[in-house]
Amino acid sequence: MSEREHFGSRFAVIMAMAGSAVGLGNIWRFPYMVGEHGGAAFIILYMVASFVLVLPIFFAETIIGRRSRQGTFGAMEKLAPGTGWKWLGLLTVFAPIIILSYYSVVGGWSVEYLYKAVCLDFTNTPPERIQGFFGAFISSSGGPIAVHTIFMLLVAGIVLAGVKRGIERFTKVTMPVLFVLIVVIAIYSVTLPGAKEGVAYLVKPDFSKVDAHAVAAAMGQAFFSLSLGVGTILTYASYMRKDENIFLSGVGTAVSDLLFAILAGFAVMPAVFAAGIAPGAGPGLVFDTLPFIFNKMGAGAPWLSAAIAIVFFLTILVAALTSAISMMEVGVAYLTEEKGLKRATAVLAITAFAWTVGVLCSLSFGPLAEVKLLGNSIFDFLDKLCSDWLLPAGGLLFTLFVGWKMARPDVFDEFTNGGTLKGNVRLFNFVWFLLRYVAPVGIAVVFVTNLVL
């Protein structure tokens, strides 16, 4: 086997991990979840879920990945040889490839919207026609499949270039730029006439909306948004150097992810209120309503509005790419390390598989809308299967592995870099408690809630 690649610096690790975490989950999913579950109250739930429940799983994945220097399957085999754990590890290789397939469809929509923004379609079209854009586009066949293909090829190209030359180089440059862009859009959005109500919605909690649904949704969102439970962070951690600080990488990633989600909330919600659209409009919120808003605002300042639209959809596209490459890398690590495939062959195999499943997902908004799996369209079925079941199941697997299967001294050694990181030494007992008890119980609650609901 060739020498294993490493990320070059702590900054590179955090940017790659934050790149995986920050994505459509923040810009597309988070705002409509906030809109569906009561605004500020949901944000508070989400913060608690991220730091108490999901951050320990981040530590679990990084501990497994960095200690074993392997992808999920090999990691389990190395740390618990001859046990059945590796097969459970294998399960988490499939989940990110499935997510990649439907994620790429939404990534493709952002390609299409960026193209529309560049062609000034949102600024130059009568408002009545703008509203029909999204529904008409996603229910057609050729267009969405073409942009899904473009998105998939971009992902494959970056992953093909390798961990250091592809993933590290791309995320190190794009992540800081993304933060600047989202801040620019949020400032534009909160200064729109009529935006005040949207800002109030994001900062004044209405706890009457908090029910079991909202709690389960907040936890599911935290898993999805931090890319946990699917071996992505584990695989990236296997490329971390031994002297990196696991605690700081985790907190750095979680804070960036949370900050980005909140900024995305401020970019989207005030604009939604300014245009008089219901915040609970669901998954179409960003794609369906923002062009309408750009169009409306464009009546007064066409160039400014067109520029903001371009920046906005470019932000979504780049954020989606940095997440999608992390999903593909999990499968690539497996196929190259365990099956001895060349990197290019592995990338090709995963691209072909995820592309095919993605085509079915894309068609499920149009010609295949009648095909139902357990009452859901193909797209919805796969999304629910992953975020409600596979991610929490994978998360549970990883915390149980670290908290109950690995020896405590080994976990201590990895978390504290052999006892040299004094801050981590002081935190260890608390983290150990979260890993052994709080996280598994919390995930069990998500499962039971989802089952009952």
- Supply the minimum distance, in Å, between the C-beta of residue 21 and ligand PFF: 5
Nearest distance from residue 286's CB to ligand PFF, in Å? 12
What minimum distance in Å lies between the beta carbon of 180 and ligand PFF?
Answer: 19
SS3 15: helix
Interface pattern 25-44 for ligand PFF (x via CB under 6 A): xx------------------
Distance CA 44, CA 50 (A): 10
Structure-block tokens of residue 329 = 């890398």
Q: Measured from the CB atom, is 56 or 298 closer to ligand PFF?
A: 56
CA angle 127, 130, 136 (to 5 degrees): 150
From CA 131, how far away is CA 263, in angstroms rounded?
25
Which of 2, 13, 1 has the alpha carbon at shortest distance from 241? Answer: 13
Q: How far is CA 149 from CA 68, 111, 142, 346, 401, in A?
A: 35, 10, 11, 18, 37
Q: At closest approach, how far in Å is the CB of 125 from ligand PFF?
A: 29
Query: Minimal distance in Å, beta carbon 192 to ligand PFF?
Result: 26
Binding pattern for the stretch 122-161 against ligand PFF, x by CB under 6 A and - elsewhere: ----------------------------------------
Give the per-residue contact string, 207-236, with ligand PFF (x = CB under 6 A; - = no).
-----------------xx-x--x-x----
12, 14, 16, 21: residue in contact with ligand PFF (rule CB under 6 A): 21
CA atoms within 13 A on the CB side of 412: 11
80: left (phi over 0), alpha (psi -120 to 50) or beta: beta
376: phi then psi, degrees, rounded to nearest 5: -115, 155
Q: Which range in 23-31, 137-145, 161-169, 189-197 contacts ligand PFF by CB under 6 A?
A: 23-31
Q: Exposed e or buried b for every residue in 34-43, given b needs 16+ CB within 10 A?
A: bbbbbbbbbb
Residues between 387 and 446 with contacts to ligand PFF, criterion CB under 6 A? none
Minimum Å gap between C-beta 124 and ligand PFF is: 31
Phi then psi for residue 373, to 5 deg, are -115, 115
Q: Is 250 helix (H, G, I), strand (E, B) or coil?
A: helix
CA-closest candidate to residue 241, choices 442, 425, 66:
66
Q: Binding ligand PFF by CB under 6 A: which of 7, 13, 23, 174?
A: 23
Residue 24 sits in the site that holds ligand PFF (CB under 6 A): yes
Tell me if 323 contacts ligand PFF by CB under 6 A: yes
Burial class (CB in 10 A: 0-12, 13-18, 19+), 132: exposed
List 75, 79, 99, 332, residue binding ligand PFF (CB under 6 A) = 99
Cα distance between residue 48 and residue 395, in whole Å: 17
171 binds ligand PFF (CB under 6 A): no
The one segment of 127-135, 235-243, 289-297, 319-327 that binds ligand PFF by CB under 6 A: 319-327
Q: Please identify, using beta-carbon distances, which residue of 26 and 416 lies nearer to ligand PFF.
A: 26
- Report the chain's terminal Cα–Cα distance, integer Å: 48
Find the shortest distance in angstroms from Cβ 264 to ligand PFF. Answer: 10
Residue whose C-alpha is closest to residue 200's, from 186, 212, 190, 192:
190
CB of 302 to ligand PFF, least distance (A): 31
The answer to whether 347 contacts ligand PFF (rule: CB under 6 A) is no
Give every CB contact of residue 374 below 8 A, 6+ residues apart in sequence: 381
Helix, strand, coil: what percent of the chain each, to 5?
A: 80, 0, 20
Nearer to ligand PFF (CB atom), residue 122 or residue 379: 379
Which residue sits closest to ligand PFF, CB atoms considered? 25
Output the smallest distance, CB 30 to ligand PFF, in A.
Answer: 8
How many residues of this chain bind ligand PFF (CB under 6 A)? 16
Residue 450 makes contact with ligand PFF by CB under 6 A: no
Q: Which stretch binds ligand PFF (CB under 6 A): 24-32, 142-150, 333-341, 400-408?
A: 24-32
Which residues of this protein are in contact with ligand PFF, per CB under 6 A? 20-21, 23-26, 96, 99, 224-225, 227, 230, 232, 323, 326-327
